[in-house]
């Protein structure tokens, strides 16, 4: 059986049979790969932490009957500090869940892997409100890469001007609506001016720059609520980690 | 598309609902039952009905029990000051087999797994905190699995229990006995080094 090597991030695992796992991987090219790790749930398995979520590694895969089979794995970055802190682990679970939902088999999106690794790398060292800022930044960037880049400077329906104070954000069109378009719009969410400015800043910053932006928590919570609605509107499956995270941050 | 007589189809359907049983295994089990004698089938059916009738969850620790309290909770010789927190009833059996633990248990009935929609609210965490308020426990041993779900659960519980002034410990993770050092993954080996002991 010919095997090939893939650099990938482990997103999720599902129990299979007595002691196997199905590991959902995000490959370097942005494709999702589901692969079986045989015996991975037994203590002393040669896989051990190498197939745990948030691990970036080099995986040797061979093509099985229905799923790929992991024949070997070497860790490049285990993201151990995420596992050692409850708040970080919670933020990382949102990242993994959203990536699981937006990545597709054999559909390349090279920027997605870079975003994933940059986000987990930033979460490793972050604390407190920075974790929330990184989570919101990840959501808006991931949606942009998924083909839903929000537009904040003009009405996304007609291109007309939008007012600066409180606005209705169209979940469908992905931006604040002008007065004319607002009338007939169905699915909208409230967007405070603070949340709008924060999202523009987060979208324009690198993950490493996000903690330095110093966006206040109430504004981050507004922006998070908006992005959660946006993600929920466009993704076909429910992100349950996002629901739990929302409950934990009180949003 | 009726490949099977309706009674067989119904049995296959029920068997396939069981964890780890696919269509092939279900077929093998069904044929085994059909080839065997009627008494054997009746014994199996009885055992299934009986276990559901006789077994419930322990009111104190949520382990499987035959009455209000499980065997461990009903045993007055066990040390009530040490509590071992595990994910599932089968983990109680695993710890009991070691013969190293004489305290009480608390079964969470799962582990935190946000991606599966399982948060602390879905587990017996509130009941654990209630017990710690009622009973005189001086040490809580967190024996959840050493994977991401188990670690996250342990972190969450430690955060809740430590402020109560109760000692919280985590079972060590390290190299499996009988294993080869060179095959150990970095995280496992790192932890084993961290938890090394004086000789
Ligand atoms: Zn418009
Ligand atoms: Zn009990």
Question: Half-sphere exposure (CA, 13 Å, Cβ side) for B26?
Answer: 17
Domains annotated for chain B, with CATH where assigned, are 6-54 (1.10.8.420), 68-198 (3.40.1360.10)
The DSSP bridge partners found for residue A12 are A24
Nearest Cα neighbor of A207 from A137, A113, A145, A143 is: A137
- Residue B2: its pLDDT value, please? 65
Average pLDDT over residues B102-107: 97
Nearest CA distance, A86 vs chain B (angstrom): 6
Nearest Cα neighbor of A135 from A199, A187, A53 is: A199
B151 with A94: Cβ contact below 8 A: no
Blockwise average pLDDT, block size 10, chain A, 251 residues: 92 90 96 95 86 96 92 94 95 98 91 97 94 98 95 90 81 90 85 93 97 96 96 94 95 80
Q: Judge residue B127's burial from the number of C-beta atoms within 10 Å of its C-beta, 0-12 exposed, 13-18 middle, 19 or more buried.
A: middle
Question: Which of A93, A96, A250 is the mutation pick for testing B, counting most B CBs within 10 A?
Answer: A93
Asked if residue A11 lies in contact with residue A100, where contact means CB atoms within 8 angstroms, the answer is yes
Q: Which residues of A89-121 are buried (b: 16+ CB within 10 A; e: fewer)?
A: bbbbbbbbbbbbbbbeeeeebeebbebbbbbbb
* Closest in B148, B183, B188 to A83, CB measured: B148
Which helix (H) or strand (E) is A176 found in, with range? strand A175-176
- Residue B127: its pLDDT value, please? 97
Average pLDDT over residues B58-80: 96
Nearest Cα neighbor of A119 from A104, A106, A130, A103 is: A130
Average pLDDT over residues B46-64: 95
In the reported structure, the alpha carbon of residue B102 is separated from the centroid of ligand 2 by a whole-number distance in angstroms of: 13
- Residue A132: its pLDDT value, please? 98
Chain A, nearest residue to B121 by Cα: A244
- Residue B194: its pLDDT value, please? 87
Average pLDDT over residues B103-126: 96
- Residue A91: its pLDDT value, please? 97
- Residue A1: its pLDDT value, please? 67
Which helix (H) or strand (E) is B187 found in, with range? helix B186-194
> Mean pLDDT in chain B?
94
- Using a CB-CB distance cutoff of 8 angstroms, which residues of chain B are in contact with residue A97? 114-115
Average pLDDT over residues B47-63: 95
């Amino acid at each position: 059986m010919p095997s090939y090597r893939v650099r990938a991030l482990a997103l999720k695992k599902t129990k299979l049979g007595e002691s196997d796992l199905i590991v959902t991987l995000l490959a370097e090219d942005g494709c999702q790969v589901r692969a079986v790790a045989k015996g991975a749930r037994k203590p002393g398995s040669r896989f051990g932490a190498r197939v745990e979520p948030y691990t970036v590694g080099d995986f040797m895969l061979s093509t099985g009957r229905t799923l790929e089979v992991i024949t070997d794995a070497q860790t490049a970055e285990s993201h151990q500090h995420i596992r050692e802190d409850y708040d970080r682990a919670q933020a990382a679970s949102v990242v993994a869940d959203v990536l699981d939902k937006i990545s597709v088999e054999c559909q390349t999106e090279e920027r997605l892997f870079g975003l994933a690794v940059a986000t987990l790398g930033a979460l490793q060292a972050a604390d407190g409100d920075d974790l929330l800022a990184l989570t919101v930044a990840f959501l808006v960037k991931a949606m942009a890469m998924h083909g839903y880049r929000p537009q904040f400077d003009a009405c996304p329906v007609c291109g007309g001007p939008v007012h600066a104070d409180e606005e209705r954000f169209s979940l469908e069109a992905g931006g604040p609506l002008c007065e004319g378009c607002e009338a007939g719009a169905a699915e909208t969410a409230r967007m405070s001016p603070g949340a709008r400015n924060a999202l523009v800043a987060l979208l324009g910053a690198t993950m490493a720059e996000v903690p330095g932006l110093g966006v206040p928590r109430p504004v981050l919570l507004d922006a998070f609520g908006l992005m959660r609605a946006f993600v929920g509107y466009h993704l076909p499956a429910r992100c349950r980690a996002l629901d739990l995270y929302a409950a934990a941050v009180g949003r | 598309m009726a490949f099977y007589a309706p009674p067989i189809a119904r049995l296959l359907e029920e068997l396939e609902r069981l964890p780890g049983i696919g269509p092939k295994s279900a077929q093998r089990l069904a044929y085994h039952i059909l080839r065997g004698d009627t008494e054997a089938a009746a014994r199996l059916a009885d055992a299934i009905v009986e276990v559901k009738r006789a077994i419930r969850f322990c009111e104190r620790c949520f382990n499987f029990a035959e009455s209000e309290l499980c065997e461990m909770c009903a045993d007055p010789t066990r040390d009530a000051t040490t509590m071992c927190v595990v994910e599932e009833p089968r983990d109680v059996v695993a710890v009991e087999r070691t013969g190293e633990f004489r305290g009480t248990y608390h079964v969470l009935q799962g582990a935190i797994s946000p991606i599966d929609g399982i948060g602390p609210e879905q587990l017996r965490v509130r009941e654990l905190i209630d017990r710690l308020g009622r009973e005189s426990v001086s040490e809580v041993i967190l024996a959840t699995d050493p994977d991401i779900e188990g670690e996250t659960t342990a972190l969450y519980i430690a955060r809740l229990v430590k402020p109560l002034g109760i000692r919280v410990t985590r079972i060590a993770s390290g190299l499996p006995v009988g294993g080869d050092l060179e095959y150990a993954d970095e995280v496992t080996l790192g932890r084993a080094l961290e938890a090394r002991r004086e000789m």
